[in-house]
Structure 1
Amino acid sequence: MGGVTVGGTAEREDLLAAGVVKAVQGTGAHAGSIFLRSRDRRSIVLAATCGVPPSLLGGWRLIPVSSPIPVAEAYRSGRTVHLADADATVRRFPQLAMALPLAFGSCSVPVGTSEEMFGALAIVWSAAPGSAGLSKAQRRHLRLTANRLGASLAELRARTGDPVACEPETVPVENPAPAASAAVRVGLFDWDLRAGTLTGDSEFCAILGLDPVGFDGSADTLASRLHPGDSAAFRALARAAATEGRVGAHRLRVRGDRLGGAAEHGEHGGDLYRTIELRGRVPEVADDRAGTHLVGAVVDAPSGNAAVAAIERLRDGLFSLAPDGRVTYANRSLEQLLGVRQEQLLGQCLWDVLPWLSDPDVEYRHRSVMLSQTPTSFLACRPPDQWLAFALHPDPGGVTGRAVSVGQEPPAVPSARVCSASTRSIGSRPRTAAS
């Protein structure tokens, strides 16, 4: 970044990250991006994202200022560009609608001060035809967020000399989509192995179903919350910690609420239990506490273990994709349908691993569901003659996919069909240079 200090660059990235996240959260959008001016002022460059990985934006990472693109117009004009749905986009920006014929709305606002523009901020959301778009309050929040970001960037430049500009090779700050709720809870504890007492934080008590005020710190009280069959294992953990100095990941069943969706029926009085994971170690201290304390954490992933077990029983192929298309989970049935092992899929894109899914339509469909947040489906032929139906269901955090076999005869749905790489694609999307 030229003469910019490391501290100034890091501070600017923090401002961008906070700004784009606040814009997305405050408007209910599913994704947002911030573009900053280039040093020569001829382009705006992608500087930060939230809810959409930069890889999905492709050629939109560097946009000439003169482009007929909403975010570029917001930067040029200093005005808000609000497009409620795809129809509004077609009317005002037909070139953009041809390149991205997707059902989303967008709003772009300038980022700067009354003296100069630093860039622009854009958000997108899923929008059915005829949608009203953002409310006045949401647009006000977006403009206020952009104005505050502009003021902060101006102050940063005055204080550190940061030019508030990006080069084309700039790596954007990437923020995951805001989580609707915490998927995993973690509680911390300190266990005095000699005295048999424990202290834990509020999350530890919540996971174990203990009253943080009334908990007496007794290991026996904690053990009473466990499945009776795990009590011996729990005591063995304490002994192993004292002798070996650590405890690897160990699963325990803890008593759950009778109405808890993540719990399983037990064999003791109709109680329900859910599985948690415990990890710990004996800290290395140079005093009389050495070898007598176990510090660690309990991890509670609600419904996780039961959900995975249920998915693995299905004959349908199920998989999960990260926002950029990489496979993060695949069940055994998908391995059999695709003819590839799970370890070959994880961390990779399906179209990179399987030649018969390398048709550009497959990658485009993933891109379209992430940008529009609209489910889609298509057909593909696994050589030599096995047809599979794929369905993609997105949310801002990624895509859940389903694959099922539909037989050896080509289904009569040409508009949603993708052939193997050795034959011509007959997908339905328009072919444009930008796509």
Structure 2
Amino acid sequence: MTARPDGGGPASDAAGRVLARATAGAVRALGGYAGGVYLRSGTEGLLRMAAVTGLPGALFRPWWRIQVNRPYPVAEAFRSGQAVHLPDGESTVRRFPQLMAGLPFPFGSLYEPVGCGEQRFGVLLVVRPATPGVPVGAADRARMREAAGDLGRELAGLTAAGDPVCWEDDPLCVPWPVAGGGGAEAAERLSLGVLSVDRQGVIGFANAAAGTLAGLPAGRLPGRVLWEALPWLGHPAYEDHFRGAFLSGEPVRFDARRAADADPAALSVVLYPGPSGVTVTLEGAGRPVYPAGEAAGPGGGPGEPADRASALYRPVALAIALTEAMTARQVSAVVTEELLPAFGGRQLAIYLLDERHLHLAWETGFPQGFLDRFDGVSLDVRLPGVETLTSGRPLFFESMQHLASAYPGIPLDADVGARAFLPLIASGRPVGSCILGFDAPRGFSREERTVLTALAGLIAQALARAQRYDSEAALARGLQAALLPHRLPATGRVATVGRYLPGSAGMDVGGDWYDVIETAPGRLALVIGDVQGHGVAAAATMGQLRSAVRAFALGGNTPEQVVRGTNRLLIDLDPGQFASCCYVLLDPATGRALAARAGHPQPLLRRADGRAEVLDLTGGVVLGVDPGAAYPQTELLLEPGGVLALYTDGLVEVPGADIDEGVERLRAALAAARPAPLTETADRLVAVAGGQADRPDDIALLLASRTGTADTG
């Protein structure tokens, strides 16, 4: 189902009708007020929200994509094939604290896997009022199963008709029925601004007072999405209030400011949610407020329950995200994505301490080149980024004038704005400093200062961990590099080229290896292997196997004997790992070769005329599983001008695609490559895989080409 939600042919129309009918029907049957469907995507391990009803889609953009290995109810239902029922907030926070960290509101939710037979398509979900202490009843469980079953059968029908279930686009927003009713004349008599918003966020009615307070004619508001008509209400600082109203069904109150250059008087906003939408009231608060982004006014405590919930869950959300960040760059990216929107910031800079100097590690939002002058400053320079670290105290400046007064002569990147300088200290050890920048002057309440200081500690811990991880990974990669051959033997008849690329996802090294061994009498052994797993243990096992293969090869053994002996050795070592391997013993003079394969991808052979084929070598099971495994030998011929390609699966595996497709792409690339020089061929074969942004596995490639004439004697 590669259909687009905006139409685009009969297949997409059919898909849209199926999803819309299933989503709306399930919500009605379960007494809910919102729901949706997640479907598998073309990216392996990724679910995408395909349909949503009762919730403004854009407001829930962070949940449009869910990885199936993440601790969320949608992912668990898909992974396990079992329904997930969460009657209230308590059950949700107990089982899925990560979900409640991002959506800390009281609501009930049900998740049912969608499939048909052996096919699993996605997950159907329904959001409804919380029922504290009352579990989901048997009748509702049955209704949910029935709705998911009906959807699964319809999706299976589409698949059978040639429309495979695979969602690659933004979610389809299914309209929610809007209840009719009067009351417009009564609303027009009020000085209070009143807007009626449906569950998709579209304004259905606005009285004259709403237009006056919003600064727009009331007649221009109906029919438009609330946050597009009144963009100041779409500020990230207010998003949680709206999410809370749409999800929990409870009234939410907060103060808002119309624009940075508007009158500083606040508008008091109240959201009254109901089954068919939300009534929004606007009223002049009559008191000045700072720009959106702080949890409370300067010096005061959080006012409304929603304010307190937001202030509480932000550190939790950031902490959860930081646990998955492994490098300093990933930590900085998480801080940018989580911290800046939470406080309405626009600029971020992170400096790391090294040899009593602060070095710029990350920046966003500052004028290009502005921070270069502060890169590498020593700890004896009087700058706020330095003094916050040496003193251990955060520094807050409500305007650029305050900053300039405290540090005369300091270069400024703007005339207006506010700055927060936070010390990054982990377990008493200085790590660096963090700068948050804001586009307009603003106050920092006691609660904000406390939260920001606590978050700085979390960031420092994550950065310290990332630095240790970087050091350990560099050591492990050095170990792996030392285990791979630095130079391949040169012969007059056979040219060999090897390539190795570490995986781009994560920090762990892998167990891929290749080798070329000169054996007696006058033979050349070509070896490639892949130890299961990643990390130092896999690299260490790889080193042991490479040494074992070398020892068996130099002992004059046949390929079958080499692989069989290596298998028994791996079982005796019992490292808890297994490995694949392909061993080819080549006679450079004649091109005749014997090959043995242990669970490894089939080699490729490019003939002198440019034709390339996937060889069919009889093989045995992977090494380290069966002590009695047999590894039969297969004969092959490498003609003059021919190229033999041995590789590991990282070169041909692409998430969401069949490995045979990757092998065929590699075969076609080998056929299209020039036969010489061999180094260019190797570079061409690894270029595509090496350029992938998220390539989880390592890559090893070994090419061998006969350059001499055949010996017919």
CA deviation string 1:47-69 (max 9, x = no partner): 11221232122121111111111
SS in 2 for 1:408: strand
Paired residue type of 2:277: G
Q: Does 1:402 align with 2:404?
A: no
How far did residue 318 of structure 1 move? Answer: 1.2
Determine the structure 2 residue equivalent to 1:392.
271
Do the aligned partners of residues 399 and 126 (structure 1) sit closer, same or farther apart at CA in structure 2, a change above 3 Å counting? same
Read off the aligned partner of 2:442 and give its amino acid letter: T
Distance change (3 Å), C-alpha of 1:404 and 1:111: same
Q: Does 1:87 align with 2:106?
A: no
Seen in structure 2, the aligned counterparts of structure 1 residues 334 and 141 have a Cα distance that, compared at 3 Å, is same
8 Å contact 1:32–1:51 — kept in the other structure? yes
Residues 3 and 175 of structure 1, relative CA distance in 2, 3 Å threshold = closer
Which structure 2 residues correspond to residues 7-406 of structure 1 after superposition, within 5 A? 7-127=10-130, 130-158=132-160, 160-167=161-168, 170-178=169-177, 183=180, 304=182, 307-343=183-219, 345-347=221-223, 357=233, 359-381=235-257, 383-406=262-285
CA distance in 2, matches of 1:24, 1:371: 14
Tell me, in whole angstroms, the C-alpha distance in 1 between the residues paired with 2:265 and 2:41.
50
1:25/1:178 contact within 8 Å kept: no
1:394-424 deviation digits (Å, cap 9, x = unpaired) = 1243211112234336787743479997535
> 1:356: how far off?
6.0
Q: 1:423 aligns with which of 421, 438, 442?
A: 442
Provide the TM-score with structure 1 as the length reference. 0.62
Question: Residue 427 and residue 52 in structure 1: after superposition, are their counterparts in 2 closer, same or farther (change >3 A)?
Answer: farther
Supply the distance in 1 between the matched residues of 2:2 and 2:267 (Cα, whole angstroms).
52
For 2:282, the aligned partner's letter is A
Q: Encode CA deviations 1:269-306: one digit per residue, 9 max, x unaligned.
A: xxxxxxxxxxxxxxxxxxxxxxxxxxxxxxxxxx53xx
Q: Secondary structure at the match of 2:113?
A: strand
* Structure 2 CA distance for aligned equivalents of residues 426 and 324 of structure 1: 34
* d(CA) in 1 for partners of 2:444, 2:135: 35
Cα pair distance change 1:15/1:351, threshold 3 Å:
closer
Does the aligned pair in 1 maintain the 2:301–2:445 contact within 8 Å? no
Provide the rounded CA distance (Å) in 2 between the counterparts of 1:3 and 1:374.
36
CA contact (8 A) 1:356 1:422 kept: no
Q: 1:14 to 1:352 in 2, by over 3 A?
A: closer
- State the 1:127 CA deviation: 1.4
1:146–1:423: structure 2 CA closer, same or farther, 3 Å change rule? same
Q: Contact 1:370–1:396 (CA<8 Å) still a contact in 2?
A: no
Check conservation: 1:351, 1:363, Cα contact below 8 A: no
The separation in 1 between residues aligned to 2:447 and 2:102, in whole angstroms, is 14
Distance 1:133 1:361, change over 3 A: farther
Q: Is the 8 A contact 1:390 1:404 kept in 2?
A: yes
- Structure 1, unmatched stretches of 5+, are 184-302
| Identity percentage of aligned residues | 36
2:699 corresponds to: none
Q: After superposition, what is the alpha-carbon deviation per residue over 1:77-111, rounded to whole angstroms, capped at 9, x for unaligned? A: 00011111111111111111101101111110100
> What do residues 24-56 of structure 1 show as CA deviations (whole Å, max 9, x unaligned)?
011101111111111243211111122123212
Question: d(CA) in 2 for partners of 1:329 and 1:426?
Answer: 36
Structure exhibiting the larger radius of gyration computed from Cα positions: 2
Residues in 2 aligned to 1:353 and 1:86: alpha-carbon distance in whole angstroms: 32
How far apart are the structure 2 equivalents of 1:92 and 1:147? 25
CA distance in 2, matches of 1:23, 1:146: 8
Once the two structures are superposed, residues 296-352 of structure 1 have per-residue CA deviations (whole angstroms, 9 ceiling, x without a partner) of xxxxxxx53xx2221111111111224343443322222333444325544556665
Q: Which has the higher contact order (CA 8 A, sep 6+)?
A: 1
Give a deviation string over 1:117-153, Cα, whole Å, max 9, x none. Answer: 111111111216x242432101110011101211222
Relative to structure 1, the CA distance from residue 332 to residue 371 in structure 2 (aligned partners, 3 Å threshold; closer, same or farther) is: same
